[in-house]
């Protein structure tokens, strides 16, 4: 038998927590001394460890009590449930990290652009969540977290390319040939080239593009995704429908300049 103070130290819980467990009937002392000290036997301590495991996994105390009182409790099945819960938490946390990182990276891209960024950069975070007018901020955030929770290098590079495309749209007050706009397009081209490289590494029959072919693929890719209704629904509300045409024109200017330089 162990005293309450010993059990608290052993399990890493507070005296108040143990008192609360006793109050709601989740776990009571095995016995009490004549002086009123609470005592716990090995079985009670084992139950406490199990309770703390479920608490750490996000179970509410009432749910744990109901579960422990069930005559048909399957502990192994509950452990499987814990694993699934933790995987879901991990996926959401990973997705949230990528969402925050996306906002940070777009902000950094805009900061590198030599243009009057005060209004544009200040509203970047707000604009990123203007995906669906009929949804709340929380709903949009959940959608974004889910979309960012996928694993894989290609998905990661694709996210970078999307951010670069958005950054181009944020410069629409400039002319397509402006240096700041073309710098943003160059960033997007670099992300596209990296994405193609990742695809080739995962492909049994990789395509070896020349520089000219890669530029053509880049222009076609940008035009295709920005003219796709599903993509327009996502990027359009962020950049504005009018900015989609601007992005395409800026990309074409970039390709034309590279072609002219190659001919010299």
Q: Which domain holds residue 128?
A: 87-263
- Cβ atoms of 106 and 127 closer than 8 Å: no
- Same-domain status, 146 and 208: yes
Nearest to residue 143, comparing CAs of 133, 155, 153, 131? 131
Q: Flag whether 41 is in a domain.
A: yes
Residue 14 lies in a domain: yes
Taking 3-state DSSP, the helix, strand and coil percentages for the chain, each rounded to the nearest 5, stand at 75, 5, 25
**Domain of residue 67, CATH code:** 1.10.1660.10
Are residue 136 and residue 254 in the same domain, yes or no? yes
Looking at residue 112, the DSSP 8-state letter turns out to be H
pLDDT in tens, the chain (264 residues): 999 999 999 999 999 999 999 999 999 999 999 899 999 999 999 999 999 999 998 899 999 999 988 888 888 888 898 899 888 888 888 778 777 776 666 666 555 544 444 444 445 444 545 544 566 667 766 776 776 665 544 455 566 777 788 778 878 888 999 998 898 899 889 888 888 887 787 777 777 888 888 899 999 988 888 888 766 666 665 666 677 889 999 999 999 988 888 776
d(CA 255, CA 212): 9
In a domain, 119, yes or no: yes
Between CA 111 and CA 83 the distance in angstroms is 42
Q: What token pair was written down for 11?
A: 């399990």
Identify the domain boundary among 73, 97, 127: 73
Cα 264 to Cα 19: distance, rounded to the nearest angstrom = 82
As for how many domains the chain has, the answer is 2
Task: Tell me if 82 is assigned to some domain.
Answer: no
**219 and 93 share one domain:** yes
């Amino acid at each position: 038998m162990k005293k309450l103070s010993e059990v608290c130290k052993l399990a890493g819980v507070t005296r108040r927590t143990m008192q609360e467990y006793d109050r709601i009937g989740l776990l009571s002392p095995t016995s009490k001394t004549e002086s009123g000290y609470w005592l716990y036997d090995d079985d009670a301590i084992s139950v406490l460890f199990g309770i703390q495991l479920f608490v750490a996994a996000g179970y509410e105390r009432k749910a744990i009590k109901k579960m422990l009182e069930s005559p048909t409790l399957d502990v192994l099945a509950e452990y499987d449930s814990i694993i699934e819960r933790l995987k879901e938490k991990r996926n959401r946390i990973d997705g949230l990290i990528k969402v925050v990182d996306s906002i940070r990276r777009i902000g950094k891209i805009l900061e590198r652009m030599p243009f009057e960024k005060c209004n544009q950069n200040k509203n970047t975070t707000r604009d990123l969540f203007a995906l669906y007018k009929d949804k709340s901020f929380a709903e949009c955030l959940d959608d974004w977290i889910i979309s960012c929770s996928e694993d894989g290098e290609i998905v990661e590079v694709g996210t970078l390319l999307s951010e670069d495309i958005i950054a181009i749209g944020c410069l629409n007050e400039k002319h397509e040939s402006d240096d700041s706009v073309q710098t943003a397009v160059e960033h997007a081209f670099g992300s596209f080239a990296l994405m193609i490289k990742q695809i080739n590494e995962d492909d049994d029959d990789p395509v070896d593009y020349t520089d000219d072919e890669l530029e053509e693929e880049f222009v076609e890719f940008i035009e295709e995704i920005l003219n796709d209704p599903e993509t327009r629904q996502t990027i359009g509300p962020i950049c504005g429908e009018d900015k989609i045409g601007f992005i395409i024109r800026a990309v074409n200017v970039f390709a034309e300049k590279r072609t002219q330089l190659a001919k010299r």
